[in-house]
Amino acid sequence: MTSPDSITLHRPLDMHLHLRDGDMLRLVAPHSASNLAGAVIMPNLVPPLTSVEMLTAYRGRILAAAGPHAASFQPLMTLFFQHYTEAALAAAQPHLFAIKLYPHGVTTNSDSGIHSIDAAEPTLKLMEAMGIPLLVHGETTGFVLDREAEFLSIYGRLATRFPRLRIVMEHITTAAAVALLDRFENLHATVTGHHLVITLDDVAGGLLQPHLFCKPIAKRPEDRDALLAAALAAHPRLMLGSDSAPHPQHAKECCGCAAGVYTAPLLLPRMAQLFAEHGALENLQAFVSDNAIRIHGLNPPDKSVTLARQPWTVPSAYEGDPGLKVIPWEAGRELLWSIQA
């Protein structure tokens, strides 16, 4: 059901989600599990998820933290990229959605990331043969505004070298990355909700806004506009992947601010508001669900979420125990759309 004032989304998915662990997991997991049919769960814990035993144990903790929403929420689990044997991948595959590749040191908890794409090729060949998707944090360690652009040639090389490997460019932030989607049939992408709205000016154009600081960093207006145009048109190789990344308030409002924007509690209402503002509400279903289901052959729980044009105010913080506080995107602001059922 879609009208100018309401929309029902069927089997909505978040194709890039950080849930952390421990107290943080117990605080944030219900925010996603309550209104999504599934999510791709990132593996960059401390230590990172590198075995089937770690993978299944973490999935159990996620479902326990989801509480009453667990039955209608599918965690799509990922392993942290390293050099895997065929036997290790075969053992993990029944529990595995994809493998996430982090270049060394580019983002939170990526110190175990790879140093060389060439050295990764044996595992990539196995993944291609076994039909395991590759998710990539595509940045170099160069100048911060150029890091994604510098990585694009590596995407092209991977797509050409492994034509049957399903590759996802994670959280793209540039117009050039959008253009690359149309060059290779095996290349896909996720984009965050906040990168469809903000630019670097919102992060650091005035007083520094730590709760908008993330990796990859927001870019120029023309990049944001290209991302938005692709999302509003429901580009067939583009999927919503929030990269919702919670950190305690004290880790964001400090020197050495942690990278990550916490968007999970308002993800669907904010996207409904954005698409409605641009007269593209009819394309939201494809962007938040249908594209991902088609690209990856997914079968998430049969869950529907109805949103309506009814204002609500985003909480100034979400609090857990003991003394844990997380500040969300748009904290304290009124949104025009809200979840009704």
Active-site positions read 243
Per residue, the 3-state secondary structure of 276-315, as one string, reads HHCCCHHHHHHHHHHHHHHHHCCCCCCCEEEEECCCEECC
Alpha helix stretches (DSSP H) within the chain: 22-33, 52-66, 86-92, 121-130, 147-161, 175-180, 200-204, 221-232, 249-252, 267-277, 284-285, 291-296
Calculate the alpha carbon distances from 276 to 267, 330, 332 in Å: 14, 18, 21
Residue 292, φ and ψ in degrees, nearest 5: -65, -40
CA distance 213 to 4: 33
End-to-end Cα spacing for the chain: 13
Are the C-beta atoms of 47 and 84 separated by less than 8 Å? no
Measured over all CA atoms, what is the biggest interatomic distance in the chain, rounded to whole angstroms? Answer: 53
- 3-class DSSP state of 7: strand
CA distance 19 to 42: 8
**202 contacts: CB under 8 Å, gap ≥ 6:** 209, 212, 218
Structure tokens that stand for 23 in this block? 């107290």
Shortest CA distance to 110 belongs to which of 248, 215, 262? 215
Helix-, strand-, coil-residue percentages of the chain, each rounded to 5: 40, 20, 40
**CA atoms within 13 A of residue 270's CA, in its CB half-sphere:** 23
